[in-house]
Amino acid sequence: MPENQERRTDPLFEFIVVGSLILGAIFAFGPGKSEATPLPEEKPNPVVVKKSYVEPTGKVQVIASGLRAPWEVVFLPDGQALVDERDSGSILLVSKDLKVTKVGFTNTAPPCEKFCEGGTLGMAIAADRADEKLSLFVFQTTSKDNRILKYDLNTDDAGSWSLAAKRVLIQGIERSGKSTTHNGGRLAIGPDDKLWVSLGDSGMRGVTSQNWKRLAGSILRMNLDGTVPDDNPKKNSFVWAKGLRDTQGMAWDNFGNMWTTEFGQDTWDELNLMEKGKNYGWPIAEGFFKFVETPLEPGNPGSNDQGTADNPAPKPTIPSMPSNVEMLNDSRFTPPVLAWHPSEAACSGITFVRGSLISACLRGGKLWVIPVIGDKQLGEPKEFFKGRFGRLRKATVAPDGSMWIITSNKDGRGGWSSGGENPQDDRIIRVPLKTVYY
C-alpha cells in the first residue's frame, strides 16, 4: 500500500486528475454548447464460442449383458431404450432399472453359411404419426433380400412398449447368395426428418455399387411414409449416393454435414463426407487410391459373391489390393476425408456429440473420437478403450449425456485376440463423457 500512497501523492498523478476534471467541466458545461454531447458508440461484446470435443471419463457400468450380437440402441422419450439382436431378430427393452425384456421380433431369417453380416440391423425412431405417436423403423435381412420395416410403437400407462401394424417400406434391396456380407444396415433420421439407410454392395462389387438403378452399394434417403423425396438426386429413386462397399455408420455434425464410415476391402477403411449425388469410388477406388486396369462398365466389375445355382456370381475381374494402384485423381469419384488400415480399426457405427464424431470399431476394438474443428474440417483422431471390451459395434449418446457402447464379440467373426470375450458378452456399457474445450 505504501507504493500506492506514494503514487497518489505523485505530482504527475495530481496533474492528470486535476487536468481531467477541468477538461471534463469544459466538455460538460462548455460555453456555446447547445446540443447534448453524443455518447460514444457502444461496441457489442464479442461472443466467444468455444470449440469442444468429448472424452470418455470415469467409471464404466454394464447396462445389459448376455446379449447376442446386439446391433443398435435407440432411446424412447421416457428414457428407456430399445436394443435389437442381429441374429435372433429380438427387439428388447432396457428399462431405467436395467431390466431387459423382449418387446418385438422381426422374423429375421438369414440362411447364411459363413461370415453372416445380415439380420436385424439398424433401428430408428420418429414421431411422424398423429398426436406425435412414435414409429419404429427396422432394417431386416430375409432369405431373399434386405428390407426396411416400419411399426407403430405404442406405449401404455404402465410404461411398457409394443410394436404393431408392421409395414414393409422397401423390399428387394439386394443381398448376396450363400453369405450375407456387405449389407450395410444402419438407419437414421436425418436433420431433414427423412429416413436414411446405409447399404453395402451386397457382395456384388460394382454390379450394385456403380449402378444407380440398383439399391445396394448406396446411401438411400426416403420420406418417413416410404415415398421418394422430390429433391433426391434422381427422379423416383431412393439413391442419394453410390460407390459404397459397406457403410454401417451415419452421423450429422453441427454444421449439417453428413459423415459415414466405410469398411474397405483389405487396405483402406474410410470416413466419408456424404454429399448428394456423389460416387465414392468402390470398387474402382479404395481410400485415396484407384485400382489400375479396372473396367468401369456397370455389370462387369466382378464380384466376391459366391452366388447360388440359380444366381451364379460373376467372375472376379479386379486385381486385389494393394497391387497396381495409383493416386485417386478422377473427377467421377469423391475421395474419403480420412482413411486408415482395417488392421488398425474397422469401424461400424458413428455418432456425433458435442463437437466430436465417435466411431466404434469392430476390428481394433476401439472408440475413435474425431473432433469436428470447422465446417468440413476434422481434427486429429484420438483412440480410447483399445482392446478393453473387444469388438465394438456402435456408441450412442443417452438422454443423460453419457455414452452407451455396444460390444459385438458374439457376431461370429471372432478372432479377437487382445481383448478377448468377456463372460458377460455381449454387453452394453455405459461410459460418462466429459467435454473438453479449446
Binding residues vs Ca ion (CB under 5 A): 280-281
Residue with cell 423403423: 137
The span from the CA of 131 to the CA of 256, in Å, is: 28
Residue nearer to Ca ion on the CB measure, 228 or 337: 337
Residue nearer to Ca ion on the CB measure, 252 or 280: 280
Residue with cell 463372460: 423
CB atoms within 10 A of CB 85: 23
For residue 243, the minimal CB distance to Ca ion (Å) is 6
C-alpha cell at 356: 466430436
For residue 41, the minimal CB distance to Ca ion (Å) is 53
Sign of torsion, CA 232 235 241 246?
Answer: positive
From residue 173, alpha-carbon distances to 112, 273, 401 in Å are: 17, 23, 35
From residue 277, alpha-carbon distances to 176, 224, 289, 333, 368 in Å are: 25, 20, 21, 11, 28
For residue 369, the minimal CB distance to Ca ion (Å) is 22
Residue nearer to Ca ion on the CB measure, 243 or 419: 243
For residue 415, the minimal CB distance to Ca ion (Å) is 25
For residue 264, the minimal CB distance to Ca ion (Å) is 8
Dihedrals phi, psi of 206, to nearest 5 degrees: -70, -15
- Cis bond before residue 310 (omega within 30° of 0): no
For residue 172, the minimal CB distance to Ca ion (Å) is 25
The span from the CA of 222 to the CA of 243, in Å, is: 19
For residue 53, the minimal CB distance to Ca ion (Å) is 25
Residue nearer to Ca ion on the CB measure, 161 or 280: 280
* CB-CB contact of 151 with 164 (8 Å): yes
* CB-CB contact of 151 with 161 (8 Å): no
Residue with cell 466467444: 48
DSSP state of 210: T
What residue type is assigned to position 42 of the chain?
E
Residue nearer to Ca ion on the CB measure, 294 or 435: 294
For residue 334, the minimal CB distance to Ca ion (Å) is 8
Residue nearer to Ca ion on the CB measure, 280 or 389: 280
3-state DSSP call for residue 267? Answer: coil
The span from the CA of 257 to the CA of 327, in Å, is: 26
- Helix (H) or strand (E) run with residue 372 in it: strand 367-374
Residue nearer to Ca ion on the CB measure, 122 or 264: 264
Q: Which residues contact 173 (CB under 8 A, 6 or more apart)?
A: 145, 146, 147, 148, 199, 202, 215, 216
Residue nearer to Ca ion on the CB measure, 265 or 407: 265
DSSP state of 47: P
For residue 333, the minimal CB distance to Ca ion (Å) is 7
Residue nearer to Ca ion on the CB measure, 238 or 280: 280
